[in-house]
């Protein structure tokens, strides 16, 4: 067992199109946000955090991982959304030793996503012919800690992110947090599963990430080439505060999109903002 710090390397699958409802305005074309998979490695062994989606994305990820020459023994899943774990089946074809792991709550949420007929149909319609035929779910961790080459890794259940039961993975020896969809970086944040109250809980989750005092913060959805800095925590909090304030002003979907783009127009994938704005207006009733 070594005792040196673990290395953190990040792969980003760029933004790409998917099959979805047509655009209702500029920037609303169906695009899937860029997303990350993180390799945490010691001298010989490594684990990945989150899996990407399509067979092609996972094959490209696997090729990148092979370049590091590590034995891949695990894949930690941060939360239940399928874009973070549906690639597990394909990853295990590349790395048969890699066991999918997650907190019990995340496993439960992933199982719901895999078995709910509406959600399952949504994913296959969005990426026709590009997903594994059979879903492989992660297994529940026993407790919040596990080890890689003698170093502790901690699954921190922060609660609300862009979905319920979200976690981040804390790697104390690297002063790093892999933030799943609690932290975003240069990409519009998906707020469609939240309301004003749960967005406040999400901001509290970001406070919990900041309290870990990381030097490296990897967002689940990040722009290609964006730096994995702790500043992403504050930027994510600000985005959520702005979104709640603008929704409360009572404007239309277009008004919300316009106001958010004035403040956050440099972020990738306005489709996500359109979707979030439509949902917020619908919830207002």
Shortest Cβ distance from residue 43 to Zn ion (Å)?
31
Query: 83 or 113: whose CB is closer to Zn ion?
Result: 83
Residue 50 lies near Zn ion (rule: CB under 5 A): no
Query: 42 or 80: whose CB is closer to Zn ion?
Result: 80
Query: 79 or 264: whose CB is closer to Zn ion?
Result: 79
Residue 228 lies near Zn ion (rule: CB under 5 A): no
Residue 268 lies near Zn ion (rule: CB under 5 A): no
Query: 119 or 152: whose CB is closer to Zn ion?
Result: 119
* Span of 48-56, 151-159, 179-187, 249-257 interacting with Zn ion by CB under 5 A: 179-187
Shortest Cβ distance from residue 83 to Zn ion (Å)?
4
Residue 83 lies near Zn ion (rule: CB under 5 A): yes
Binding to Zn ion (CB under 5 A) within 62-81 occurs at 81
Query: 41 or 113: whose CB is closer to Zn ion?
Result: 113
Shortest Cβ distance from residue 148 to Zn ion (Å)?
24
Number of residues that bind Zn ion (CB under 5 A): 3
Residue 181 lies near Zn ion (rule: CB under 5 A): yes
DSSP string, the chain: ---SPPEEEEEEEPPEE---SPPSSTT-S-EEPPEEEEEEE-SSEEEEE---SSHHHHHHHHHHHHTTT-EEEEEE--SS-GGGTTTHHHHHHH-TT-EEEE-HHHHHHHHHHHH-HHHHHHHHHHSTT-S-SS--PPEEPSSSEEEETTEEEEEEEEE-SSSTTEEEEEEGGGTEEE-TTTSEESB----TT--HHHHHHHHHHHHHHHTT--SEEE-SEE-TT----THHHHHHHHHHHHHHHHHHTT--HHHHHHHHHHHHTTSB-HHHHHHHHHHHHHHH-
Shortest Cβ distance from residue 112 to Zn ion (Å)?
16
Query: 53 or 98: whose CB is closer to Zn ion?
Result: 53
**Residues near Zn ion, by CB under 5 A:** 81, 83, 181
């Amino acid at each position: 067992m070594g005792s040196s710090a673990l290395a953190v390397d990040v792969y980003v699958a760029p933004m790409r199109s998917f099959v979805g409802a047509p655009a209702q305005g500029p920037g609303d074309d169906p695009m899937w946000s860029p997303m990350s998979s993180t390799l945490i490695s010691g001298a010989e062994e490594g684990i990945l955090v989150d899996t990407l989606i399509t067979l092609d994305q996972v094959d490209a990820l696997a090729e990148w991982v092979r370049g590091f020459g590590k034995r891949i023994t695990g894949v930690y899943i941060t939360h239940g959304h399928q874009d973070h774990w549906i690639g597990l089946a394909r990853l295990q074809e590349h790395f048969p030793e890699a066991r999918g792991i997650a907190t019990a709550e995340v496993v439960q949420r992933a199982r719901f996503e895999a078995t709910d007929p509406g959600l399952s149909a949504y994913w296959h319609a969005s990426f026709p012919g590009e997903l594994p035929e059979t879903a492989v779910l992660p297994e529940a961790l026993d407790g919040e800690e596990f080890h890689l080459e003698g170093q502790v890794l901690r699954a921190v259940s922060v609660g609300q992110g862009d979905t319920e039961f979200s976690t981040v993975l804390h790697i104390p020896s690297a002063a790093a947090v892999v933030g799943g969809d609690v932290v975003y970086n240069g990409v519009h944040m998906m707020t469609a599963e939240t309301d004003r109250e749960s967005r406040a809980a999400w901001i509290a989750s970001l406070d919990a990430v900041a309290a870990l005092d990381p030097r490296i913060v990897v967002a689940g959805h990040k722009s290609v080439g964006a730096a994995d800095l702790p500043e992403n925590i504050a930027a994510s909090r600000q985005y959520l505060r702005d979104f709640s304030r603008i929704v409360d002003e009572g404007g239309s979907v277009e008004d919300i999109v316009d106001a958010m783009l004035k403040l956050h127009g440099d972020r990738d994938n306005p489709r996500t903002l359109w979707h979030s704005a439509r949902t917020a207006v619908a919830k207002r009733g």
